[in-house]
Amino acid sequence: MIVAMQNPDFDEDSWHVDIVGGLWEGYDDVEMKGIVAWSDPWSPAGWEVSEGFLEKWGFLLIGCEDMLVATNKWRALRGEEALIWEL
């Protein structure tokens, strides 16, 4: 993340909007973007990334296997298909 933000093409404003999943815009498109912490924020098991966030910002999650496991656990609880991304 730190390296990515140093790239002049990194759109920090867009990342800020996307990371909160439209919360400041009335929850209208949380399915398309965002990250949700379902439990303690320091536990990787509580985090879920949306499909839209993964499509746009997945390069920031390379090597975050715990995030993939947690995301798919939360999706499975809702009966949704697992997300797959290159780790």
Q: Tell me the pLDDT tens digit for each residue of 2-54.
A: 777 788 888 888 877 777 765 545 545 555 668 888 899 889 899 998 888 88
pLDDT score, position 73: 95
pLDDT score, position 79: 93
- The residue ranges of DSSP E strands in 1-87, in sequence order, are 35-37, 47-49
* Domains held by the chain: number: 1
Q: Contact 60/5 with Cβ under 8 angstroms?
A: no
Instruction: Please indicate, yes or no, if residue 25 is contained in any of the structural domains.
Output: yes
Instruction: Please indicate, yes or no, if residue 50 is contained in any of the structural domains.
Output: yes
pLDDT score, position 51: 85
Instruction: Please indicate, yes or no, if residue 82 is contained in any of the structural domains.
Output: no
Alpha carbons 12 and 67: distance in angstroms, whole number: 21
Which one is predicted more confidently, 81 or 37? 81
- Each residue of 17-35: b (16+ CB within 10 Å) or e? bbeebbeeeeeeebeebbb
Q: Which domain holds residue 73?
A: 2-77
Instruction: Please indicate, yes or no, if residue 35 is contained in any of the structural domains.
Output: yes
Instruction: Please indicate, yes or no, if residue 8 is contained in any of the structural domains.
Output: yes
